[in-house]
Structure 1
């Protein structure tokens, strides 16, 4: 089955207020229910959604009445909407979905909206889509209530028109109507053309006499024209012979020119090859020059490294020299300490010997003290000196402690300063390394830029300043530009920056001789003696000389370059007296020319400025490094001194716990006791004892001092030995660095030597190539001279050729003029055998004869010809129109025949189908069609006669209601077999059938349901009992229809 209705959705349509979905299946779908329940409203909904527009068929007076009115006490709907859901699984419709949803909606204002699968469309689009499955709004697959009886009772004309519509007669009628309208137009054209043709015939006869006289006149004119053409032809032939002779001469000249050109081409080929060789040689020279410049740049870089290594060696030698001085001082100090230690040891021996003697004397004196008081006094003296020594040691200890603390703090400060100096030195060394790399890069870039910008001749001249005294240099070497004015000054000097300034004319001549002799190139020189005294103060704002600094000795030179220049942002501030430069580098010349663009000289100046800044930074940092090294050396020496002093003033290891005030008190008590006892002891003995004790004390103190000093000297000797070892180690490292530096220097010098040899080699090779190039240049010059002489010969021949060409042009112009004159005659003639005089005499006679005609209406020929052409054209047109009429008549006859044939064929098929279906209802009955006008069926109607068993043959109006229904149903189903459709909607077609005929109708419906889906509205029990699906419709109390469905058993 191509398609079928899957469901019908109703919302607000007639008696269906709420949304209702009725699902249908293939087969016989029967809708039942009491009258007024809303069964036919379902059929109306189908008719509404497929596009029926006749309100009568939808059983309404206006579309708004299709909207649910609210029933009993309900709220009216705002719109009515019906959605038809068709199966599209076989893709009968051009939609990619398995379902096609067609909806139609009408609102209270009567506005209608159609949609297909949600997309808004027009009615014609819906009708076109359904037509793909033979579903039409006015098709016979939809039979509404009462239409069966209407079909049975319609008159014969309408019945015949029904067959017409099935047979497609309307198509033939339209074509015939169109042909008849065309026939009317054709007959009107024939009528008009015939009138014009008769008028043209009369006019043609009137023109005939004038035409014949004009023809006689034109014959004489034609003879004269032909004779004139023959005269011109003879002149043309004469000119052609002259042209041929001139062309032969021109060919000879061209041939000679061709030969010279061939020779010249060979010379030019040689010149081209020489040029290619020169290009290659120049390329080699350029390559070698570039390589030479690269090597020169490398040599400059190597020389810079040599200077750096030499500077490093100087620094290392300075360090070695300083270390040697320090080592010498340390050795002298060590020797001095050793001498001093030796003296102390000898003095110590002497003191020990003296003390031994003194002890012996003391013992002798002590033996002389027999009394207890003397012994006690002696003990008090010993205790007194012992306590006094302790007190003295504590005081010395305190003094030493303060001194040690002070020197220790100073040593800590010195150590911190040394650490800071070392850190600063490390940072400076890194900075030096970084700046050295930048300097090397800048030198390399500057060398490349100078090599690019500076002509070789200028470069070579600047190299021989020592050999040719008096070469001052270029302008940039004499001036210093003030910040902010670099671009303006560089723009003003552009084009003059390569001028070499020399002392006088003699120096300039020597420089030029040097360039000529060495074949280096070309350079410009400015002798200072030629511009002496030209300077004068220009009283103008922005004078360029105010923005540069220079030596007064070169004032005239700077004036020559910048004296007539100003720097300003206003190019109109002068009247052309000065050159003006803006700060961004544009130059307004006195000639009103404006110059500007990228300045390589400014880039070089920027690099030179950066290089100067870097060099100054390196010099400044080098000075700072030397200062730091000096300070480091001073701090190291101070540190060594402080460490020596600290070792010298080291505290003794004796532990003295008594308090100073207690010791002083003890000393005073002992002194008092000694004074008390002294009175009892002999003054002589006492003085002797005291003298010996003081002497002993003195010796002991001197011995202690010697021991302490000796210990300090030993410690100092150890420290100085350690410093000496460190100094020797440092010196070894410096010597190792010096050795590496000398090796690097040696390698650099060797590399420079090799590169300089390469430079000399390049110079020699370049000289050889330049000599070869000069030879080729000389050869090329000779070939150019030869080419010039050939050009001169070609020019001479060219002039001769031009003369011949001009003559050819002149002859050609005369020939063209004669040809135009000949062509103007418009005749074809051959050259006459008569002489020119004979032809001219005959031409004179013809002209007299022509003049004798007087006035001749020559237009008569043209008018007659045009009138004749128009007459023939109209005549031909009339014939064509008549042929067109015949063609239209044939078409009309053919259409009538086709229409009749189509009608009769369709009528025959319908009649056969009717008989077949009628036989189902009445096996012994018969039915037949009667054409009222067999000659022309379209002028009459169609009668249907039927005979039922036991009855006579009668017309439809004479039959009973049931019999009419059987015949009408037979006709209806017969039509449907000719125009089959997948869906049939039948509304109470069985109303007039009895039980038996209802069964027969069911058999027909079953057969039809195998090919199509049937939706039948009925009250007939036979139909209901044979339904596949049953749908019950009932009316609710609120005035709304309700639908329930039921699938019946097979």
Structure 2
């Protein structure tokens, strides 16, 4: 595995996207001081996971982002990517299967740091784990920065041990051990928390146990009350049912007796008719025998019969008149009572209405004040919040200005020191002149400006393309959403259309479906009464109209309503409570609807319909919105089904069709927006492609010019380059000093202004805070007063409704009394007419006495005939007497029947009420029936028992009903905690065993690697020094914690400590250690930053020879100013800074250059 490319963008001085190709095994990075060479090393360390800004020569991690230059704006982000050739599969793990692996890190100015492996977002740990044990890492021995050589040799034993561990591959074991120890510590903390939780839970369980016992007792008592109450309701229900059955039986008995009596009266009437006919025949016979006697006898008999009949009838009238007088007196008394109740309720109603108006007035006053108070409170809060935000902003700006002032002061001091050093160095240098080099540099700068402009344009075009793509995606999403809505609405319309009935008309009239209108298609019903209309019309909603009805066999087989009369209904407005007032119907069904629904009235509730039942005529009925029907003699209750009515389907279909029509215009607009976004995207991509071609051409020109400038720069002496650099840096320092001084003065003035503004704003904020609190208190008091007024108004409204119901009930009762009084007065008048006819009876009595004298004379002559006539008259009299008796029994029997019917209805209503109560309580009727059969307790005893249980519940005091569930949950948590404790203890044992295993493996690997590295150090040290000796010593006996020290003795010296060595000797000693580590565990690549700086030519030659030997296994990328080290490189990477603060790369392949020169 080797490093092939380093890609930088916005990282420190590499502001432009820069790619450094490193195809060779020996790559030298060269350039003048300060041009940004070491930034390449920093970039590699940063992308490998370096988290310390100090290690990257910065104060914060934001310092790695390009901060701008004189002609450049600050970069928004920093990005570094390393591309590796992994064709040999050296990398292990999931990424080892890829022939090319790219790791990348991005950092924005918002502080968002993101890591990538092959463009997939990963964690920082994934980056470090990828190179564990290879020596490559942010702190690994494969990256040697400036000054690190001396730090290695002078490092503490613990720090040297870290390098040995990395070479031994122990670092991943240490990482695992550290993670295991952290897990072990977390696990032990978890175990302690579990113990604390268990202790706390035990105290909760003890408390909850007491509460749960009380709750159980409470539930037991409540259950007993519920059982007793259910048994009480069941007994009342059974009693009501028994009373209903008794009343029903009595009603049936009275009805049967009434029917029998009526039949007897009818039979008796037939008998009377027969006797009268026989009497007339007998009288005719007597008349034929003795005409005069028969006539007299006939008159006497007729008069006698009338007198007797009238006397009986007068007796019955007298009794009925007495009864009528009694009923009239009773009704008068009841009317007086109802009148008094009505007057009392009316007075109370007026008082309550006055109170309602008073409370409504108070509520209106508070509501009128409420918006003003709320606006004042909100305005005060906004003012306070704005001032608080302004104060916080001023304080933040003050802190920033103070920090900027401090930073400017430090920067001025540093710049003055740098300026002094540069002036001293500039005094020793001469100013060279090179017009050709200046011209080449100007050309490169111009091309760089052009390339930079094109890159900025390319970035803008890419952003425009992203915006166009986003707009296209949004337009497509909106179009798809609208299209989906259209499909959904279309499916709903089709479903509702399919649900509507389609009549089979062709076999009846010969017409098509569109020719014959349907009733439900020609009527509109208010939504609240659609269901009631569907119930009352039923299948008539599908009624069809035809002018000529063709009677066929198929017609007789269908259940279809045909309307064949289309006359106009009578033009009169419907009554206020008629169902027709909620229906709009079109021709030709107007007459039919008025005929079917003309006598249908509306009532909001079933109770209201029952109150109006007595006023209904036989052809009238009342319907409720739920579909319950009430006529003059019955009530039909409607049971809900799971479907919807035809009219409701029609309403839903109309609404869905309207929504579908409204959706067409937004759908068309979305399609046009999608087409416009597509055209914008195509135009932007065309501009982007054109800009990319131009950028490619300018980059080629820039590369050619840069190569020419590099060639001229190579022929220029080091002194000329240094002088130019000093001049540029000196000018930059002067400019920066001026800027920093201006910044210092400006920030000081700004800080003083901000301090003054803060001091002025704080008292205002305190005043507004106090004022806002007062406003909030006033608003709260007004809200409470408004709530109280509304509550009192609601109570008064309830009292008014109750009094109105009482007045309505009293009025209805007085109307009933008036009707009964009128009926009895009418009967009394009829009886008075009967008494007036008594004077006629006296005259008939005188006529009878005269006829008796005449009859006595002729009686002897008609004895035989008279005897038969008397017998017939006796039979007729008996029949009439019997008829009178039966007629006298009939009114009482009718009254008893009506009384039994009222008792039956009252008992059924009571039974229904108790049965509904039992159903609401989900009572088991079978169980209650058994208990009721076994129990001998009476209803008063059950009531006493229920009251006693209620007292016991009150004696329990406050009861936590959730204690039972909380106790159960507490037991479950205790069991869970116990299980977790066992698992955690097992995990602790497992982690301790894992740590022991890791320690043993670490000891073995560390000891083996230490011996091997020590052997290699003893071999490489004489090679680099040309003699002498060096070794590694272990500091401490514990292989897990023992440090490592190095002892070195150059040829001819006997120094006692490593610190006595010179700088060059320390560098060679450190190199022998590093190369020893590389030989034992070769890293894929090695980065060296000016490690040859302290070496002379002889030591440099030996260093280069050793590096060339090791390059067979390790790729070396090094920064150097040494000529011998440069000559060793296979590829030169030049770093320039022609534009102040911006680094650029110039690459030269030495082998290719030599091949070209030889050719």
| Same fold, judged at TM 0.5 (above) | no
Larger-Rg structure: 1
- What TM-score do the two structures reach when normalised by structure 1? 0.32
- What TM-score do the two structures reach when normalised by structure 2? 0.29
